[in-house]
Each structure stands twice: as C-alpha cells, then as structure tokens.
Amino acid sequence: MSIGSVYETAYKGDFNQVKVKIDGNKRLIETPDSNSRLLIHWASLGGNENLVDYLIDTGSLVDPVDDTNSTPLVLAASAGRFEVVRLLVGKGANVNHKTDRHQTALHYASSKGHKELVKFLIDADSNVNTADVLG
C-alpha cells in the first residue's frame, strides 16, 4: 500500500473518496496492490463496514485472496473487526478458508483474544478442529 493510494483511502474508511475513484474506474474493485490485496481487503482490515458492503454490492468478490492466501474475513478477524466479520459471513464468506499457514479466521481471532469474534465464528460453523502449520 502506498501513501495516498486508493488502498490507504479504503483502509481509512473514506467512503466518498473511494466511491468517487470507483465511479471513475470500475476496474479498481478488482485491481490488486503489490501484495495482491484488493480494496475489500483494506476496507475489511480497517473495519469499514459500510465500505465493505458497498464494494460487494458494486461487484467485489467476498473471498478474494492476497499473496498469503488471506481473505478479507481473515484480515477482519485478525484485527478484531466484529461488524465487518458479521457482514462478510452474512454475504457468504467462507469461515473455514485457510491461509498459506493453514490458519482460519478462527485461529486469528483466538490468537488475538477477540472472544466475541471467536464465539460468533464458532456459531457460524467454523471448524474448531482445524490444525495450522504449528499443529
């Protein structure tokens, strides 16, 4: 992510600025940064629920992967972004998707101490028995 980029704008949650840029170039929704992250990855990581919803409604995939095979759900769970996690799951995000290290959103939420997210993900049928590269 470069300073002043549309990705940074999505991370910070400047809905109007991102919308203006997308209105000018619809391909931005599917254009990755240098880490293969899309706008939805950055908006999810930043906890910007309205922007994530807009991006999906405008054509973004719900479960695109970055260069570590992380989805927006994994990033949001890692950052403790409960509302974004709930939105993504409601839009069909795969709660059992595994990163390159075989970690799921549940692994990240658990390791970061996001108890409310852990409960939500378990209730959303996350597999509690999935082993990562550490076992």
Residue 7: is its pLDDT beyond 70? yes
Residue 69: is its pLDDT beyond 60? yes
| Residue 108: inside a domain | yes
The pLDDT score that the predictor gives to residue 66 is: 98
Residue 3: is its pLDDT beyond 50? no
| Residue 131: inside a domain | no
| Residue 130: inside a domain | no
| Residue 62: inside a domain | yes
Tokens of 29: 């929704």
73, 81 in Cβ contact below 8 A?
Answer: no
Q: CB count, 10 Å around CB of 124? A: 16
Percent of the chain with pLDDT over 70: 97
Percent of the chain with pLDDT over 90: 93
Rg, C-alpha atoms of the chain: 14
| Residue 37: inside a domain | yes
119, 93 in Cβ contact below 8 A?
Answer: no
Tokens of 132: 């990562």
Residue 46: is its pLDDT beyond 50? yes
| Residue 81: inside a domain | yes
Whether the model pTM is above 0.85: yes
CATH number at residue 70: 1.25.40.20
DSSP three-state, residue 66? coil
| Residue 110: inside a domain | yes
Domain of 45 in residue numbering reads as: 6-123
Task: Please give the tally of structural domains in the chain.
Answer: 1
| Tens of pLDDT, residues 70-108 | 999 999 999 999 999 999 999 999 999 999 999 999 999
| Residue 134: inside a domain | no
The pLDDT score that the predictor gives to residue 131 is: 87
Instruction: Measure the CA–CA gap between 51 and 33, rounded to whole angstroms.
Output: 18
